[in-house]
Structure 1
Amino acid sequence: MIDDEPLAAAARSLRTGETDPDEYIGTLEGRAEQAEPRIEALLDEPDRWGRLDREARALEARFDDPTTRPPLYGVPVGVKDIFNVEGFETKAGSTVPSEAVTGPEATSVRALRDAGALVLGKTVTTEFAYFEPGPTRNPHDTDHTPGGSSSGSAAAVAAGLCPLALGSQTIGSVIRPAAFCGIVGLKPTYGRIPIGGVLPVAPSVDHVGFFTQDVAGAELAASVLYEHWRPENSGEPTLGVPEGPYLEQADPTAREAFDEQITRLEAAGYDVRRVELLADIEDVNERHQALVAAETALSHSERFAAYEEHYAEATADLIREGHAVGVGELCDARTGRGALREAVEGTMDREGIDVWLCPGAPGPAPEGIDDTGDPVMNLPWTHSGQPAMALPAGDLDGLPLGLQCVARYGDDERLVAWAEGIASAL
């Protein structure tokens, strides 16, 4: 019987028949009755549990032999409401008519379903995955934000409503909510998880990511969601700390906690090297903001023209800002992605660094739900397209802190393998 087992253990129990999918769904239903009124992670669905029960019975009939069951057999997953899902409207946290937003099912959702997963439901997102927040609250303290824009997905996993949920990141929308909610978040190398069927924000930097409760679950989810996943066991990495203006963006208290995390890793035997990096972070931040604004304006061009009055002020301001970005500035911003990656990875090569370590957010989750927090600690790694993971790393005044781990472009398999040891040391 599954109680609150993380993804890998829950999936194993379901595949072997130790737990029936409908039994597991009943457990989640009871948990949701207690938690969901407080955190509001899921979009309303009148017959959610009846639908899931029917889908679970159909799945059992299809795979009555446990030896033929796929890797995520019977696992309910949350799906951020900018992903299209067959049978569900896409609203994207907006009052724009859903027929102007909904499209063919996302490639990532289809991959999960092909692996035997059941869709628990749509999860709350900020409007169009930008900054206008929804009603979701942090399960650790409902007076605080869960982060954004993947608010509902992170909160649902943290509250145990599902062991896996999809999110997206255009600035910091996977890593920051994972850090705020005390769970694992993975933002892949740009493009390694297909983005098809996901409402675009800024396609040059849009990433599909996901949330789990631990690293073993992240590895299982990655094996399904990545088109070409190649598990690796790469030994112990050399860790790097990016000293300088980038790291100084974190709050002093978060910096102290980060230093303690580094001390624990050094005590566990890791080689940690402190290296100056991202001295031009202000330019990187400005470049990324211009890129996001311009591409959001392009992505929403027809929709905004037809439904401008439905857009929240923050989203509308971003689109108007994007209209003012010139073609040359946009081209420079796009070119800057590769230049940043070359500079970062050149430093990694010279210094022998495998994984950068940095705070997952400037501090713990801010109080209130009108602001999802600052994504500045995640921005350069989204701009460069490098893979990043958030790992639970203690707390500050009862609110979770996350450690962000960043590897070379395309090095996702080794990052996940290395993350297990790092997480254990923390």
Structure 2
Amino acid sequence: MDAFRLNWLTAGDAARSIRDGAISSEQLVEACLARVREVEDRIQAWQFLDPEHALNQARARDQDRREGRAVGPLQGVPVGVKDIIDTMDMPTEDGTVLHAGRTPADDATVVAILRAAGAVIMGKTVTTECATYTPGKTRNPHNPEHTPGGSSSGSAAAVAAGMVPLALGSQTNGSVIRPAAYCGVYGFKPTHGLISRHGVLKLSRTLDHMGMFARTLDDIALGCEVLVEGDAHDPDTLMRARIPFREIATEEPPLPPLIAFVKTPLWERTDEDTREAFAELTDALGDRVVEVDLPDIVLDALELHRTIMEAEMAAALVDEYDRGRERLSESLRAQLERGRRVTAFDYQTARARIPLLNDGFAELFERCDAILTPAVAGTAPKGLTSTGDPSFCTLWTLCGMPAASLPLLQGANGLPLGVQLVGQRHHDARLLRTARWLVTQITGGEPQDG
């Protein structure tokens, strides 16, 4: 196997090759580190990366295999971890100078699960400030003059650039779907509460989701299969039977899916490229897509989301504001100050609307398998002072619905243009199956980078 290309292996293929003895984890990690050395100066995806520590983990995984110990589904595979997710052996600084040098005593639940599955924790990927709007140093791998999106900037860029096959992110508004769309990779935000957030920087219990990035849907399904489990430390997770994500995601649908094309009330924000691309996409789907207008109840989703997010952020980051407000960005400081002014009545009223919104989608999902909608208004904006508009993700995050970004389209400028596919709550594996069908219909097969 060509060692120069090892860094472009999918997570699933890499794990199989390591289990079969075709390659070693050390070889794979060294190939990924070589790619980091090649492109990191231009992309700047990593907040913390100790090559020797990554290689030592890989050597330990190889020794496990040689000595006949049990190997996991991600045995020896390097994974990037967003720098708001606690790692006991690496700093977790949350994108803020207020947490500089912070090294947690324990792993976040998702990190502990990854280690148990045999993964190598490659390093910590760049996040925006406290996973909000102020950008970090990361640049778009397709054109470094453009934003990679946020807040999971480094994770999306590292996967897109071939530095790791899989990376973790989080989403409170559009922080997985948007960077996946801008960087041209698969991004997945599961149903709210499906993956534990214990040991992850808390912004909003109501809205925080874990998520992931990969270059194939197979790897997204693999990541879900590994990470989805109940956690007593996260009260929004559920103890449930194992979900066979990979099996379901690769099944042929019993009937050709019917897709609801939803422009949303934000359609006028889209670029001409986006409108033209979606016209071609829906034409290609023919009678398997139907345009659907959303009920009026969704019109105030942006304001509901903002009320909940900023109120809960103000409570979650009270110490940071009280001790170091002058060292926070103007943007974050303004969010926290608005959040402190939200009344209990407005907050509780906003939260009470979420079940009503989900009830409003119940009839649609009785007829349709998924919702097709823009992930972003257009391709990644030029400049590094903003991470782009997250509003095309807001409604689905507010409702806690699973969503995927699929790298199916391209703008006239040659940059990726993601397609968002949204599913019914707790039907995540079915959404991945529908996503696979859609990709196959449009491309004739699943595109892979590299």
Q: Same fold (TM over 0.5)?
A: yes
Partner of 1:380: 395
Is this contact kept in 1: 2:145–2:382, CA < 8 A? Answer: yes
Q: Which residue of 1 aligns with 2:93?
A: 91
Amino acid at match of 2:188: L
**Which of the residues 11, 32, 44 maps onto 1:7?**
11
Residues 182-231 of structure 1 deviation map (CA, whole Å, 9 limit, x = unaligned) = 00000000000111110111110100000000101111111101113233
**Residue from 215, 223, 229 that aligns with 2:243:** 229
1:20-419 to structure 2, matched below 5 A, reads 20-45=24-49, 48-64=50-66, 68-98=70-100, 102=104, 104-227=106-229, 228-231=242-245, 232=248, 233=251, 234-235=253-254, 236-243=256-263, 245-266=265-286, 271-349=288-366, 352-396=367-411, 397-419=413-435
Output the CA distance in 2 between the equivalents of 1:415 and 1:357. Answer: 11
**1:424 equivalenced with 2:448 (yes/no):** no
Aligned counterparts of 1:176 and 1:26: Cα–Cα separation in 2: 30
Q: Is the 8 A contact 1:390 1:405 kept in 2?
A: yes
Q: Specify the SS of the correspondent of 1:93.
A: coil
The 8 Å contact of residues 242 and 278 in structure 1, kept in 2 or not, is answered as: no
Q: Distance in 1 between matches of 2:294 and 2:68?
A: 51
Match of 1:373, SS state, is coil
Compute the RMSD of aligned alpha carbons: 1.7
Compare 305-314 and 112-121 and name the one that shifted more.
305-314
Check conservation: 1:17, 1:66, Cα contact below 8 A: no
Normalising by structure 2, what TM-score?
Answer: 0.90
Letter of the 1:216 counterpart: D
Q: Distance in 1 between matches of 2:69 and 2:59?
A: 17
Q: Secondary structure at the match of 1:416?
A: helix
Q: Which amino acid aligns with 2:376?
A: A
CA distance in 1 between partners of 2:191 and 2:114 (Å): 19
1:117-163 superposed Cα distances (whole Å, 9 cap, x missing partner):
01110000000000010010000011100000000000000000000
> Residue 327 of structure 2 aligns to which amino acid in structure 1?
H
Q: How many residues align?
A: 419
| Partners of 1:344 and 1:247 in 2: CA distance | 19
Higher mean C-alpha deviation, range 217-226 or range 250-259 = 250-259
> Which deviates the most, 108-117 or 9-18?
9-18
Amino acid at match of 1:213: R
Deviations 1:329-384 (A, max 9, x none): 111111122111111223332xx111000111011000011100001111000000
Larger CA deviation: 85-94 vs 291-300: 85-94
TM-score by length of 1: 0.94
- Counterpart for residue 237 of structure 2: none
Determine the C-alpha separation between the residues in 1 that align with 2:191 and 2:99: 33
Shift of 1:10: 1.9
Letter in structure 1 aligned against 2:9: E
| SS state at 1:217 partner | helix
The separation in 2 between residues aligned to 1:388 and 1:287, in whole angstroms, is 19
Q: Flag structure 2 segments of 5+ consecutive residues without an equivalent.
A: 230-241, 443-450
CA apart distance, 1:57: 1.3
List gaps (5 residues or longer) in structure 1: none
Instruction: Judge conservation of contact 2:48–2:125 (CA < 8 Å) in 1.
Output: no
Q: State the 1:424 CA deviation.
A: 2.0
Q: State the identity as a percent.
A: 38
Shift in Å, 1:258: 1.4
Distance of aligned partners of 1:122 and 1:272 in 2 relative to their CA distance in 1, 3 Å threshold:
same
What is the CA-CA distance between 1:246 and the residue it aligns to?
Answer: 3.8
Q: What amino acid does structure 1 have at the position aligned with 2:13?
A: A
- Listed one character per residue, the Cα deviations across residues 13-66 of structure 1 (whole Å, up to 9, x for unaligned) are 122111111111111111111110000000144xx2211221111112222267
C-alpha distance in 2 between matches for 1:253 and 1:105: 43
Q: Which moved more, 1:4-13 or 1:139-148?
A: 4-13
| CA distance in structure 1 between the aligned counterparts of 2:279 and 2:221, rounded to whole angstroms | 27
1:408 positional shift: 0.4
Q: Measure how far apart 1:394 and its partner are.
A: 2.2
Q: CA offsets, 1:90-124, max 9 Å, x none?
A: 11110003477846321111111110001110000
- On the 8 A contact 1:101/1:199 being kept in 2, the answer is no
For 2:435, the aligned partner's letter is A
